[in-house]
Amino acid sequence: MLAEIYLSVRRETFVWVDPGKFYREDFAAHTNGETVFVCTHENGSVAGFLSLWPADDFIHMLYISPEFQGQGAGTALLHALPEWPQHRYRLKCLVKNRRAKAFYLAHGFQVTGNGASPEGDYEELSFFPV
C-alpha cells in the first residue's frame, strides 16, 4: 500500500518529470534503512507515510494519498516524530512543489539552503525547536 501511495502521488505531483521514471519498486529502495511512520484514517485506510533517516534527523519523504490531503494526516505524521517539536529536523523540498513548501512553512520550517536533483531544484528546509 505504501509503495502504491508513493508511486501515484509522485506521478500526480511531479508533473514536470516523465512519469515513466517512477516505479513501485522505488519505495523499498528509497526507504531502505529509514524509519517509516504510517498514518491511518479512522476507517482503517492508510492515509500516508513519512520516512525518516534518523542518523541525520532528515525527513526523506512525506506522502499523503490525494483523498486524505488537507485533512491533517501530514500534521499527524510530523507530530509522530521523536521529540517533536523540541528537536531539529530538516528536509529537501522541490521548488516546483509549491503546495508541499507551503505546508512545511506553515508548520515552522525555514529555508536554510538549496540545490539541484534529478527531479529539479530543491530548497533545504529546517525545523528549529520551539
DSSP state for residue 128 in the 8-state scheme: P
Count of domains for the chain: 1
Name, in order, each residue with C-beta under 8 angstroms of 66's C-beta and a sequence gap of 6 or more. Answer: 8, 9, 12
CATH value at residue 59: 3.40.630.30
Tracing cell 534503512 back to the chain, one arrives at 33
Name, in order, each residue with C-beta under 8 angstroms of 126's C-beta and a sequence gap of 6 or more. Answer: 88, 89, 90, 109, 110, 112
pLDDT at residue 37 in the model: 98
The residue range of the domain holding 71 is 1-127
The predicted model scores a pTM of 0.92
pLDDT at residue 106 in the model: 97
> How confident is the model over 36-83, as pLDDT tens digits?
999 999 999 999 999 999 999 999 999 999 999 999 999 999 999 999
